[in-house]
Amino acid sequence: MNGLVLLIPVALGLGLLGLAAFFWSLRQGQFEDLDGAALRIFVEDEQDRPT
């Protein structure tokens, strides 16, 4: 029972920390270009081409 008294606040704190990190990433624009990273794999770099 003493373990629950410690673990419940720790779990709630970690959950709030994760939620704060999610909202921070939304404000920083991390989710604005979801397709760009997927399409960049199809673009060849000029340095990799043999001459």
Q: What is the mean pLDDT of the chain?
A: 88
More confident of the two residues 41 and 8 = 8
Does the pLDDT at position 49 exceed 80? no
Q: Which has more confidence, 8 or 35? A: 8
- Cβ of 19: how many Cβ atoms within 10 Å? 10
- Say whether pLDDT at 3 is over 80: yes
Residue 16 host element (H or E): helix 2-28
**Confidence category of residue 37, pLDDT binned at 50, 70, 90:** confident
Say if residues 25 and 31 touch (Cβ distance below 8 Å): yes
How far is CA 48 from each of CA 2, 27, 43, 44, 51, rounded to the nearest angstrom? 60, 35, 11, 7, 9
